[in-house]
Structure 1
Amino acid sequence: MSSASTPTPGRGPLRRLGLLAAAAVAVVATVLVTAGATGDAHPPGLPGSPVRVVGIGDSVTAGTACNCTDFVRLYARGLTSRSTPATASNLGVGGMTASGLLDAIRRPGAIRDGVSRADVLLVTIGANDLMPELQRWATGGCPQACWAPQVSRVGDTVAEVVRTARALRGEPAERVLVTGYWNVFDDGDEAAAARGTAYLAWSDALSRALNAALCDAARRSGATCVDVYSPFKGDGTRNPTPLLASDGDHPNAAGHRLIASALLAASGR
């Protein structure tokens, strides 16, 4: 647990290794989740084949600190249980930023390849782009005028992430779901003890602003915005600790189930 004066790193312990190192050790898990799937399942891309769900983003997507079934696989299992057989590929990378994700989609590699095959694309990104603002807050403060420009830049970058991803697939029926955050940094009892109530109020305002920018980016780029703030925190007064891992930063198993449920509801499933 970090002290109140020392900011914790961005989402996922791999950030200390740097983004390239994190990407190098990230495990890309493709899981067939069709109920009772056998070798005679339809190959991807053919009529009647399983829906290909791909998750991209930061350590929230990757399932860091949870040791549980991540929301990408839970979402695909939810589709399957509702008579839409699905597979899941989790391409989340701890420490990933929106700008780093855009670069990864533009360059040859596992993320670009996975995105180009997605029937449903789940996107959770943007928190790590705001780490400099957390550092400024911890060393002297960072009011709205400090963080607003970066929040706007993140929104524009995420809109471009979605446009680039949709162009790769070239399929009008592809669904892109962009989530927000309950908090872009740590939250709940852990954050209150480590940083104090002033931090909770500051990070909540910043998180709400980022969520608004992400929803605007989704609308501008033809994606669906998925609210996870309300399921975690209601009107902002609910303590999200029961949904968080011990680090106070990442969702636990219950949190991942809640994110998957929000995604399924937003996609009409």
Structure 2
Amino acid sequence: MGASARAWVVACAILVAGCSTGSGGTGHEAARTVVALGDSVPEGANCNCEPYPQLSATALSVPGTRQVTATNDAVGGYTSADVLAQLRSKSKVAANVAGADAVDVEVGANDVSYDKSCGNSTACYEGQIPKLEQNLAEIVRRVHELTAGHQVLVVLLDYWSVWLGGQYAKEQGAAYVGAADEMTDQVNGIIKKTANDTGSAYVDLRAAFKGPDYAYDETRYLSDDGDHPNAAGHEQISAATVDVIDKTLHLGG
């Protein structure tokens, strides 16, 4: 087991541990809190559905044993700099994180959002990548700073596409699809690297939406804007997140 997996097991134990029992054998329901940070994806934009942070909390709850609730502090349009500013301020968001058992972070797509002046020239966006890497590492560091004194699970989620996806991307032409794939590679690479470097959990949403070889069309998981997940997409993200927990902690065994 690698360092990241070991850290995941230790931190996640506080979230998924069963109820404790006293000498008389009477258990009590353990309360756990998940805070979601990031952009319009965890916020649930253009879905009119329950977003994945809440779905995951429900899936992790066990009646009479463990109650997991979600506080969704994600904001549409947010970049990594915006999330870092949330955590650095003396705000309700920082207070929510300070009391959290787990923090989901999905941010980065807006750092390299499609710009008509840049078009499909990936070189035009690449200058944002180092700042994203710096901010994401600082976000994780700040979460741990705010939660000093108790263990916290940090979950970093990536993207199926940082621009339009599925058939909506194909309608923009082959050059757009190629550029979107390249920028998604770069952003997701930073997210995965940060997870490895910081001992955080990593959820590969590109695989969740497009299959292990990234070969499937993800249109069925997208809302009609081609950018945000629909209800099925949020269910898929939730399932992928909970699956990481199950496989790592062998909850079904």
TM-score, normalized by the shorter chain, greater than 0.5: yes
Match of 1:135 in 2: 116
Name 2:177's counterpart in structure 1: 200
Residue of structure 2 equivalent to 1:215: 192
Verify the 8 A CA contact 2:105 2:154 in the aligned structure 1: yes
CA RMSD across the alignment? 1.8
Distance in 1 of aligned mates of 2:227 and 2:149: 35
Residue 220 of structure 2 is matched in structure 1 by 242
CA contact (8 A) 1:50 1:84 kept: yes
The one-letter amino acid of 1:142's match is S
Change (3 A) 1:171 1:238: farther
Equivalent runs, 1:19-30 vs 2, <5 Å: none
Work out the percentage of aligned pairs sharing the same amino acid.
33
Give the CA deviation at 1:84. 3.0
> Shift of residue 222 of structure 1?
2.7
Alignment of 1:119 onto 2:101: yes
* TM-score normalised by the chain length of structure 1: 0.76
Q: Tell me the TM-score normalized by structure 2.
A: 0.81
Q: Say whether 1:69 aligns with 2:28.
A: no
- Trace 1:182-201 onto structure 2 (pairs within 5 A): 182-193=160-171, 195-201=172-178
Q: Quick check: 75-84 or 118-127, which moved more?
A: 75-84
Equivalenced residue count is 218
| Kept after mapping to 2: 8 A contact 1:117/1:169 | yes
Question: SS of the counterpart of 2:66?
Answer: coil
1:60 aligned to which of 37, 41, 49: 41
CA distance in 1, matches of 2:154, 2:117: 33
Aligned counterparts of 1:267 and 1:174: Cα–Cα separation in 2: 14
Give deviations 1:88-142, integer Å, cap 9, x for gaps.
11111001110111011000112211111110110000111112x643432xx42
Large movers: runs of 4+ above 4 Å: none
- Structure 2: tracts of 5 or more residues without a match: 1-27
Q: Is the 8 A contact 2:136 2:194 kept in 1?
A: yes
Residues in 2 aligned to 1:158 and 1:208: alpha-carbon distance in whole angstroms:
16
